[in-house]
């Protein structure tokens, strides 16, 4: 697909997340994603085009090539969400269930899976790192990666990206089809050519021309009216599984888009344009392909975002739980200090008294020795030791008293802190409860 088609698909996916009826469980998160996105939408053109303009990994990561396998017995095809048009068309295809083989070196599904995970990881790093940390990813950077991901998702919906046939001139039919779409995008919306971006309408989406093509109008209507199904499809559990299913049905669609009535090497652009598949069905198939591309981008983006938000809520709860635990610990320590004070004070007073008696005895011993003219050095040493012990015991008593006073005066505020921490935990738990259902898994 071409530059403006990629950017347009990404913006239509944003619009779908905003305009479609999102399941209740994901509604708040969808709103939050859109308000986050709107700050970074200007990167959409460069972001969604980065894989072609900079990474240039077209020969491995923008494709996954299937071909019918006459030696095999049965082909396994994934069960996809019922609203996916590629799936509906695929189920009615003559080639559905027939064996196929995959060319090995292509990895578009892995690319999509890896990008999805790295988006979630980046948000986690952004959350955990302090402001100004040199390793923190910026929101701009993460938004760019959302748009880059949309490119790979969209490419997998272009049927020829999933078809191992090599045509007359490898890129002629392929390029022709993609040009039809890009021309329609460019003629249906107002484009700011100087700044290489769309002009936006008041809601921040590509500004429509008075005249739009049927295909563009269809996708715009479809993104609002199509039911938003959260699930990946039966047996699909993640981006990879889902994209693998998309590639299978995209392969089946390829044989409708460019049928196998000719030897592939003979299918030139002119031959293709003269075919019934083009003349009678191009618009129909284009609706399926572009409508589903928007659907899949929106689905994968929202799944990634919801997974991050679930993690964020759990992390917040863990933080508040730790705060509550600390507040409990602080209150317990202060209460113990207050409760134990009478006993410890009595005990320490006893020690002080004993030390004082010892000092007095040692003083007498020393005085006696001096009065008798004897060497009193040892007595002086013993007296000094007793005095040090007394000072230590008195100091400990003073500290006990200080600790007691401090604990006593802090009891009320520690109780208030604990109560506040408990309220925070309860509030968070109640908030999270509404997200804790089984359809939250990615
Ligand atoms: Zn590409």
What pLDDT, in 10s, does the model give residues 271-308? 889 999 999 999 999 999 999 999 999 999 999 999 99
Task: Dihedral sign for Cα 396, 401, 407, 410, please.
Answer: negative
Question: What are the Cα distances from residue 135, in Å, to 4, 126, 315?
Answer: 32, 9, 20
The single-letter DSSP state of residue 52 is I
For ligand 1, the distance from its centroid to the CA atom of residue 213, given in whole angstroms, is 24
Distance 108 CA to ligand 1 centre (A): 10
**DSSP result, 185-227:** HHHHB-EETTTTEE-B-TTSSBPBPSS--HHHHHHHHHHHHS-
CA 135/CA 118 separation, integer angstroms: 15
Of 70, 65, 63, 68, give the one whose Cα is nearest residue 96.
Answer: 68
Check pLDDT > 90 for residue 73. no
* pLDDT in the model for residue 70: 84
Report d(CA 259, CA 262) in Å as an integer.
8
The pLDDT of residue 316 is: 94
Q: How far is the CA of 175 from the centre of ligand 1 (A)?
A: 12
**Percent share of the chain, pLDDT over 70:** 98
Q: What was the pLDDT predicted at 42?
A: 83
Distances (CA, A) of 289 to 123, 187, 294, 299: 31, 19, 9, 15
For 259-273, 340-354, 409-423, which range has the lowest pLDDT when averaged over its residues?
259-273
Query: For the chain, what is the mean pLDDT?
Result: 93
How many angstroms is it from 52 CA to the middle of ligand 1?
A: 5
CA of 183 to the centre of ligand 1 (A): 17
In angstroms, what is the span from residue 146 Cα to ligand 1's centroid? Answer: 15
Q: How many whole angstroms from 265 Cα to the centroid of ligand 1?
A: 23
Would you say 355 and 390 are in contact if contact means Cβ atoms under 8 Å apart?
yes
Mean pLDDT of 412-437: 92
Q: What is the 169 CA–ligand 1 centroid distance (Å)?
A: 18
The token pair at 297 is 């981008």
Buried b (16+ CB within 10 A) or exposed e, 252-271: bbbbbbbeeeeeeeebbbeb
- In the reported structure, the alpha carbon of residue 30 is separated from the centroid of ligand 1 by a whole-number distance in angstroms of 27
Predicted confidence (pLDDT) at residue 266 exceeds the cutoff of 80: no
pLDDT score at 340 = 96
- Residue 110 sits at the vertex; the CA angle it makes with 216 and 74, to the nearest 5 degrees, is 85
Phi then psi for residue 368, to 5 deg, are -60, -45
Distance CA(29)–CA(79), nearest Å, equals 27
pLDDT of residue 442: 43
Measured distance CA(85)–CA(322) in Å, rounded: 48
pLDDT at 437: 64
Centre of ligand 1 from the C-alpha of residue 1, in Å? 6
Q: Check if the beta carbon of residue 258 is closer than 8 Å to that of residue 174.
A: no
For the chain, what is the total number of helices (H) and then of strands (E)?
A: 13, 4
Cβ atoms of residues 191 and 199 within 8 Å: yes
Q: If DSSP codes are grouped into helix, strand and coil, which group holds residue 100?
A: strand
Per-residue pLDDT, 260: 78
pLDDT digits (tens, 9 = 90+) for 199-208: 999 999 999 9
Distance 210 CA to ligand 1 centre (A): 30
The pLDDT, as a whole number, for residue 269 is 87
Name which of 36-40, 98-102, 192-196 the model is least confident about. Answer: 192-196
Output the pLDDT for position 265.
75
Q: What is the pLDDT of residue 170?
A: 66
**CA 107 to ligand 1 centroid distance, Å:** 13
Rounded-to-integer distance, Cα 228 and Cα 55, Å: 32
pLDDT average, residue stretch 146-151: 96
Report CA(384)–ligand 1 centroid distance (Å).
Answer: 89
Six token digits for residue 110: 């892995």
Kindly tell me if the per-residue pLDDT of 417 is higher than 70: yes
Residue 438 has pLDDT above 60, yes or no: no
> pLDDT per residue over 9-46, tens digit each?
999 999 999 999 999 999 999 999 999 999 998 888 88
With a cut of 80, say whether residue 96 has pLDDT above it.
yes
pLDDT for residue 74: 76
pLDDT surpasses 90 at 259: no
Write down all domains in the chain, each with its CATH number in brackets.
Answer: 3-316 (1.10.575.10)
Least confident piece of the model among 89-93, 163-167, 239-243, 330-334: 163-167
In a 10 Å sphere around its CB, with 0-12 CB exposed, 13-18 middle and 19+ buried, how is residue 143 labelled?
Answer: buried
The per-residue pLDDT for 321 is 97
């Amino acid at each position: 697909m071409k530059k403006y088609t990629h950017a347009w698909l990404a913006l239509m996916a944003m619009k779908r997340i905003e305009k479609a009826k999102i399941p209740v469980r994901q509604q708040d998160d969808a709103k939050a994603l859109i308000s986050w996105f709107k700050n970074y939408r200007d990167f959409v053109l460069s972001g969604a085009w980065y894989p072609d303009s900079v990474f240039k990994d077209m020969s491995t990561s923008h494709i996954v090539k299937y071909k019918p396998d006459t030696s095999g017995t049965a082909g396994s095809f994934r069960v996809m969400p019922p609203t996916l048009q590629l799936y509906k068309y695929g189920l009615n295809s003559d080639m559905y269930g027939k064996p196929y083989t995959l060319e090995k070196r292509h990895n578009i599904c892995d690319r999509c899976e890896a990008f999805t995970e790295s988006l979630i990881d980046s948000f986690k790093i952004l959350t955990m790192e302090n402001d100004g940390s040199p390793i923190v990813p910026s929101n701009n950077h993460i938004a760019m990666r959302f748009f880059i991901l949309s490119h790979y998702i969209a490419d997998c919906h272009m049927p020829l990206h999933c078809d191992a046939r090599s045509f007359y001139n490898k890129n002629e039919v392929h390029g022709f089809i993609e040009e039809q779409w890009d021309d329609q995008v460019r003629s249906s919306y107002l484009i700011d050519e100087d700044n290489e971006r769309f002009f936006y309408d008041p809601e921040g989406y590509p500004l429509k021309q008075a005249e739009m093509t049927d295909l563009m109008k269809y996708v715009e209507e479809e993104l609002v009216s199509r039911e938003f199904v959260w699930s990946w499809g039966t047996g699909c559990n993640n981006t990879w599984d889902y994209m693998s299913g998309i590639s299978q049905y995209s392969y089946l669609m390829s044989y409708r888009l460019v049928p196998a009535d000719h030897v592939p090497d003979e299918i030139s652009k002119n031959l293709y344009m003269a075919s019934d598949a083009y003349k009678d069905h191009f618009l129909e198939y284009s609706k399926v392909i572009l409508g589903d591309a928007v659907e899949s981008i929106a689905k994968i983006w929202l799944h990634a975002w919801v997974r991050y938000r679930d993690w964020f809520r759990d992390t917040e709860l863990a933080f508040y739980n730790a705060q509550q635990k600390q507040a409990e610990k602080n209150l317990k320590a202060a209460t113990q200090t207050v409760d134990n004070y009478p006993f410890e004070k009595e005990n320490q007073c006893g020690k002080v008294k004993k030390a004082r008696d010892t000092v007095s005895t040692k003083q007498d011993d020393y005085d006696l020795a001096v009065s008798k003219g004897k060497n009193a050095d040892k007595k002086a040493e013993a007296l000094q030791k007793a005095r040090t012990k007394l000072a230590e015991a008195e100091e400990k008593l003073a500290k006990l008293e200080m600790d007691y006073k401090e604990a006593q005066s802090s009891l009320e505020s520690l109780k208030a802190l604990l109560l506040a921490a408990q309220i925070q935990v309860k509030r968070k738990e109640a908030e999270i409860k509404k997200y804790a259902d089984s359809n939250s898994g990615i």
